[in-house]
Amino acid sequence: MSTALAIVAAVLAVSLLIVLHEAGHYLAARAFGMRVERFSVGFGPVVAAFRRGETEFAVSALPLGGYVRIAGMSPGDDVDPADRRAYANQAAWRRFAVILAGPAMNYVTAVLVAAALLATIGLRAPDPAPRVGALVPDMPAAAAGLQPGDRILTVAGAPVDSFRALVAELQRHPGERIQLEVERGGERLSLPITPRDDGGVGRVGFAQAQQVVRRGPGAALVEGLDRTNAAAGAQLAAFGGMFSGKQRAELSGPVGIAQELVRGARQGAEPFLALVWTISIVLAILNLLPIPALDGGRLVFLAWEMITRRRVNEKVENYVHLAGFVALVALILAVTIFGDLARLFGR
C-alpha cells in the first residue's frame, strides 16, 4: 500500500472506532427513549446532513471521530423537568447504561475484528516453539548471525523444546561464550554467542516468533472473545504497573498512533487490522478508567448517585469534568510534543 493510501486508511480506522463508540451511546439512548438531537461523523462545521425522525445525521468538516448530542445531557442545557425524554430526567441506571454503552461498543468491535481475522486471513499469536523472532539491533543475537525464523535446538549442549525453555537456558549463561545448535532451512548450524550480562541474567536480544492462526467461524468467535479478554487483561495490568510506578510509562499520542497504523497498513491487512483490534481494546479500557471528562469519570458520579440515591451537585460535577478535560488535553499535548514528535525528528 502506498503511503498516501496508508494515511487515509489510518485516519478512517481511528475515525470509525470513535464513531462506533458514539454509536453505542446513540443506540442505548434510543433504546431508553431518550431524544437524540444529532449524530455527527466528524467535528466542526456541518458539511452535509439529513434528518431521520427527530435526529439529524451529519458529516462535519474535521473527519476525526464524531459525537452524539442527547437532549439534556450537555452542561448548561435548559431542561424542562417535565420532559421525560431528556437525559437529565432519566433514572441514574439508565444514564449509567448509556455512558457504559460507548466503551462496550469498542469491546464488542474488538471481539468481532479478532473473530473476523481468525476466520479469514488469520491473526498472529506467539509461537510456542523455540524459534527466533524479531532481532534487537546491537545485541548478541544479531552479532552472532541469528536470523528470524531460526529454530534453536540446543543451548550449550542442552536441548530446548519450547520458547520458554530457550529463554530460561539462555538466561543461565550471562557473559559466557556458548554454542547454539540452530536449524535453518533444513540445515543445521553451530553458532557461538555470548549472552549479555544483565544483572546476572543472560540476554541475547530477540523476540518470540509469531505464527498466523486461523479458525472456523464458530471457533473464531470463541477465540476472538478469549484473545480480546486476554489482551484487555494485559492492558489493565500495564496501566496498573504504570500508575503504581512498577512499570515505565510508554505513551503514544495521536501522532504516534497514526504512525503505527500507517506502518501497519503498509505491511499488509493482517498487521493493520491487528493494530485496529488493539486500539479498540485500548479505547474501551481508557474510557472506563475513573478519569474526569472520560466515560469512566461520569460512571463514577452515576454509581455514587445510584448508591446514595442523591444526585451530585451539577456545578461541582461540571467543574470536575472541565478540570479533567484540561488535564487530559495537556497530557495529550505533552505526549505528542515530547514523545511522538521528539521520536519523529530523532531528538
Please enumerate in sequence order all residues whose Cβ is within 8 A of that of 160, keeping only pairs 6 or more positions apart, or say none.
Answer: 130, 152, 153, 154, 166, 169
Each domain of the chain, given as residue ranges in start order, spans 3-32+90-121+244-344, 132-208
Each residue's pLDDT, cut to its tens digit, for the chain (347 residues) gives: 566 777 777 778 888 888 999 999 999 999 999 999 999 998 889 999 999 999 999 999 887 778 999 998 887 778 888 889 999 999 999 999 999 999 999 999 999 999 999 999 999 889 999 999 999 999 999 999 999 999 999 999 999 999 999 999 999 999 999 999 999 988 999 999 999 999 999 999 999 999 999 999 999 999 999 999 999 998 888 777 766 666 565 555 566 667 777 777 778 888 888 889 999 998 999 899 888 888 999 999 999 999 999 988 888 888 888 888 788 778 767 766 666 566 666 64
Q: Could you tell me the pTM of the whole model?
A: 0.81
Q: What is the CATH number of domain 132-208?
A: 2.30.42.10
- Map 256-283 to HEC letters: HHHHHHHHHHHHCHHHHHHHHHHHHHHH
Let me know if 22 is a catalytic residue. Answer: yes
**128: Cα within 13 Å, side-chain hemisphere:** 2
Other residues' Cβ atoms within 10 Å of the Cβ of residue 252: 16
